[in-house]
């Protein structure tokens, strides 16, 4: 059990761990799907861990969620209907709803208990998004939802935990799933996902997701940023049949931010949009070595 005044030990690999001092415990317990820990740290602020792996911290959650959401929504000329897969904290939903053009945002998450815990202990993450009239929350399996869905979306955002052994997200990163998701994406729609670590040692998941998306979409653009709370650079991937984020210049982005009445951004801005897609050589090389992920051969994290 986590104790106040002691250190939470997060194991990155068997060769690398870090200690995070626990100032105040807000919640610790198990939902039907995962072990949840929410506590405060003097430097990071509130922190959320799932199955003892960090998911969010107050100090930079806005960097993560702005990076996940805004490049995709700014690439689309008029996103009105958005599907969010996962995103239990509500911060992805919060960022989507900052775009005034969005008329409907559907969030599908399997863990109802986690969503409720985040609303109670991390209300700053959602900032009222769950009560917005444009929001619809569906509690259930995202794979089944996508298979049965008859609606088409302008943007689909995948904000899922990384696939671990026996985890519920394993088959949501495969070619089969991406093909199913593409069927409920409009012809000019955009798909984006958080794709894990992009550090020099552990980037295979990122590279494999990129190669897998290339089997389904004509345009695939991996990008990244640095996450202080993760102590690692972090990857995202945008995919589309037609839309290319590299074709959006600063003037276009600036106009869309103004027209959609988006204010008080912390990280994303017109000048950084294209810069997010500039990758170091080691990642450019790694992208060529990624595996195609399938239901028969999915990716399982083994750190």
Outline where 44-170 has alpha helix (H). 61-75, 91-97, 112-121, 123-126, 142-148
Q: What are the backbone dihedrals phi and psi of residue 166, each rounded to the nearest 5 degrees, phi first?
A: 70, 10
Residue 7, strand partner residues:
21
The 8-class DSSP code of residue 111 comes to: -
d(CA 56, CA 44): 10
H or E element, residue 190: strand 185-197
Backbone angles phi, psi at 156, to 5 degrees: -120, 130
Positive or negative, the CA dihedral 93, 253, 231, 83 is positive
Q: Is 154 a catalytic residue?
A: no
Identify the H or E element spanning 253.
helix 250-259
Write out the two tokens for 54. 């960090």
- The catalytic residue among 111, 154, 159, 199 is 159
Q: Which of 157, 35, 32 is nearest to 90 (CA)?
A: 157
Pairing relationship of beta strands 45-50 and 35-41 according to DSSP bridges: antiparallel
Please give the order of strands across the beta sheet that includes 104-109: 135-139, 104-109, 81-86, 153-159, 185-197, 232-240, 219-227
> Do 99 and 262 touch, CB atoms closer than 8 A?
yes
Q: Tokens standing for 76?
A: 């689309």
Question: What would the two tokens of residue 137 be?
Answer: 């929350």
Residues classed as catalytic? 159
């Amino acid at each position: 059990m986590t104790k106040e005044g002691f250190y939470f030990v997060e194991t990155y690999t068997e060769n690398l761990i870090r200690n995070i001092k626990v100032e105040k415990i807000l919640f610790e317990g198990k939902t039907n799907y995962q072990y949840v820990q929410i506590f405060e740290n003097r430097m990071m602020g509130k922190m959320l861990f799932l199955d003892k792996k960090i998911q969010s911290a107050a100090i930079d959650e806005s960097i993560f969620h702005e990076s996940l959401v805004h490049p995709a929504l700014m690439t689309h000329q008029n996103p009105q209907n958005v599907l969010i897969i996962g995103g239990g904290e509500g911060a992805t939903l919060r960022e989507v709803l900052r775009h005034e053009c969005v008329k409907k945002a559907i969030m599908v998450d399997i863990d109802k208990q986690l969503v409720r815990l985040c609303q109670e202990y991390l209300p700053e993450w959602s900032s009222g998004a769950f009560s917005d009239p444009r929001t619809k929350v569906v509690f259930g399996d995202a794979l089944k939802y996508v298979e049965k869905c008859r609606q088409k979306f302008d943007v689909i955002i995948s904000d899922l935990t990384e696939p671990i052994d026996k985890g519920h997200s394993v088959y949501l990163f495969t070619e089969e799933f991406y093909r199913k998701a593409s069927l409920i994406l409009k012809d000019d729609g955009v798909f984006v996902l958080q794709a894990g670590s992009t550090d020099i040692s552990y980037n295979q998941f990122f590279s494999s997701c990129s190669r897998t998306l290339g089997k389904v979409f004509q345009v695939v653009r991996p990008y990244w940023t640095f996450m202080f709370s993760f102590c690692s650079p972090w990857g995202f991937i945008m995919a589309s049949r037609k839309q290319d984020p590299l074709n959006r210049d600063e003037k276009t982005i600036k106009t869309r931010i103004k027209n959609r009445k988006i204010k008080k951004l912390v990280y994303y801005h017109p000048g950084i949009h294209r810069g997010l897609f500039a990758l170091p050589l080691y990642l450019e090389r790694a992208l060529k070595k990624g595996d195609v992920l399938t239901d028969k051969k999915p990716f399982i994290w083994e750190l």
